[in-house]
Chain A
Amino acid sequence: MTLSKLFMVARWEFTEKIRTKAFVVALFVTPLISVSFMVIPMLLINKENDETKTYAIYDATEQLTKTVIDSLHSKYILKDGKPMYDIVPAVGTNIDKVITEYKQRILNEEFEGIFIIPQNIVKERKAMYYSTNVASEQDISNVSSEIEGVFIDNQLRGNNVDIYKFKEITRSVKLDRIKITRDGKSEGSDFLKQYISVFFALFLIFFLISSTGQALVRSLLEEKSNRIMEVLLSSCSARELMFGKLLGLGGLGLVQGGVWGLLAIIGGSQFGMQVALTAHLPITLLFAALGYMFYASLMIGIGSTVTTEQEAQNITGYIILLAVMPLVLIISFLANPNGTLAKVLTYIPFLTPSVMPARIAVQTPELWEILLSIALMIVSIIGVIYISSKIFTVGILSYGKRLTLAEVWHLLKAKG
């Protein structure tokens, strides 16, 4: 193999692809889309909170309304100083008549809804909320917990219990989770942060594989269909071509992963989450790189046999499905990260790159397990490259008809 030719192919693949619109778009649009999925709903929620919401309250006990209103006004205030909740007492002697009247007024959008406190609340412990929208969780629970608080205070007072003493006694107990790691240190575990960093790594692998994988298969198909492939092969060997392409692709992956990682760190710190900056970052990145090499080698071998756009889409689809599988599986084994299921999944090369970092983040496995899985990945990558290069040498010269499994099997048995 002539290394200089290999590097020429790698340089061409890298410099020509990095300039394409598709690459630049994928580089910046992909994170933009994923971020907007998180940010847009948050913005919309904040937007709604800019306006005062008006509720009605009907208090059959005639003891709670004023205190509830005062306490809500002092507790929840909008940015412009106005109260977040405007509570209007409903008047009437017959509860059913009130409900009928306010149902109409709510439909006319005078109120968001009405809270009904029935006479028998002391016994039944039940209040009602009528609204066209009973799912605006935050607002409803803000108001209802205020009603509950005032009601209980009233009860305590009525039974001559010392309110302050009662509150002191019933103060809740907080649970601190501290993770023990193999190296003997115990660290305050912010579970959410680690969980997110695992998901971040999985998404990184998934996006890298799907975007570069598709680009790779498509460019192979183009080179085959317009016979540039033959000109290339009249200049360099199939192996030089394949390893050059893998190397160029690796460079593109590095750029893509690097940019996305950087954006995630910057974005994460803006939202107060040091997403990627956990202690497990290096090992997560190592597995991401191994996983990327594994899938890229697989893709180049299988991709070389493709002869139509249709086949290209099918094949990349299947491989991407394999790559996304861990995202689904991970939920089922995180509860028991050292269980049999997790252990078995760790040693399936398709899943190792995402399952292992996930386990490390949740409950660090034994060192030998980590080393074994790294070794397994390296052996698998070499194996896949070996098989792929055999398929590649023949696949890139086959037109019109895809290699059959029997032909591939014959190739693998052949020496050389």
Chain B
Amino acid sequence: MLVINNLSKTFRGGIHAVQNLSFEVNDRRICGILGPNGAGKTTTIRMILNIIQPDAGSITLNNHPIAEESKNVLGYLPEERGLYKKSTIENTLLYFASLKQVPPAASRKMIEPWLERFNLGGMGKRKVEELSKGNQQKIQFIAAVIHNPDLLILDEPFSGLDPLNQILFKEVVMDLRKQGKAIIFCTHQLESAETICDDILLINKGQAVLNGSLESIKQKFTRNTLLVEFEGDGTFIHQLPIVERAIIEHGKAEIELHQGVSTNMLIQELIPNLQIVNLQKSAPSLLSIFTSVVGAENLSSDFLSQTQKELK
């Protein structure tokens, strides 16, 4: 279990990368850390990994303050994909395990089952550069978990994977959760965060904006929200007096109505202007929650455009 209390880090030049950040990651839980670029995610992760030291606050893992020895029970998959291209898969995995002080005999036993789990059985003697990009990503993932860590930090683990492999990765992550590991999951992809995270931490400008279990957050923000698919130009929806807020895209809208407004009233307004294809009541998406919490103008524009792209 990871407990972070009032963590702060200021870099030279007065940049407050992280300010008074507190959150917990429990065993058997996946905590999604979300936020735009420059929000302080990397700095937070580096402090948890004991690569840089915080100016204030504490980080404890299983009731011990983070120290060099903690690194042996931490697993980290960085966002960028990189391995020693000229080395064999087996040697690479043995090396990373040895840096976690796993005896070679023990890590050797772990290699083959892991390779088989990722459909790479018997490929241990191959060179890394002989593998496809997706398969290299699998090796990098194995390198992060081969020493059976208590806390696993995954930075965009699914990016660049084909849909089949995304499913495979998700299954493996779920298995690791079942085995009792605490998992931190950093991502831009709000949709995948919604499907696998138990808890959510949204950071913006170095501060926690939203923190709690996904369920409680959704409950708290459940409002009178409808998802509408349609044909025609939907921009007029913004101007309707019965609408509180709306996220409108081409042929699709997430519409939050004022308290007391019925679905029928909305349909009456839409029918003269649009061909309705589909309509359903919905829990609010993370994006709509985020925009309502911080306001779209406070989330940096690249985060919004990135997440909106993924919604399409």
Chain A contacts to B: CB under 8 angstroms: 2, 4-5, 8-9, 12, 16, 19-20, 223, 225-228, 230-237, 397, 407, 410
Contacts and interface: CB of A to CB of B under 8 A. Distances in A.
Given A8-B95, A230-B78, A236-B71, A16 B100 contact: no
B179 to A, nearest CB: 20
Contacts of A9: 99
Contacts of A19: 86
Which of A223, A233, A235 has its CB near the most chain B CB atoms (within 10 A)?
Answer: A235
B100 to A, nearest CB: 6
Contact of B78 (A5, A225, A231, A237): A231
B51 A230 contact: yes
B68 A235 contact: no
B171 to A, nearest CB: 23
B189 to A, nearest CB: 20
A348 B91 CA distance: 43
Given A16-B91, A236-B71, A228 B82 contact: yes
Contacts of A5: 99, 101
B144 interface: yes
Interface in B101-143: 101, 140, 143
Given A230-B78, A234-B71, A12 B95 contact: yes
A225 B85 CA distance: 13
A228 B99 contact: no
B221 interface: no
B49 interface: yes
Contact of A235 (B71, B84, B153): B71
Interface of B: 12, 46, 49, 51-52, 68, 71-72, 74-76, 78-84, 86-87, 91, 95-96, 98-101, 140, 143-144, 153
A231 B143 contact: yes
Contacts of B79: 227
Contacts of B96: 231, 235
22 contacts: A2-B101, A5-B99, A8-B95, A8-B98, A12-B95, A225-B82, A226-B83, A228-B82, A230-B46, A230-B76, A231-B82, A231-B96, A231-B140, A233-B49, A233-B51, A234-B71, A234-B74, A235-B72, A235-B96, A235-B100, A236-B71, A410-B12
Nearest to A396: B51
Contacts of A407: 12
Contacts of B83: 226, 228
A225 B71 CA distance: 22
B86 A397 contact: no
Nearest to A244: B99
A234 B75 CA distance: 8
B80 A226 contact: yes
Given A231-B140, A235-B100, 12 more contacts: A2-B68, A4-B101, A8-B95, A9-B99, A230-B51, A231-B76, A231-B96, A233-B51, A235-B71, A235-B99, A237-B68, A397-B52
A226 B98 CA distance: 21
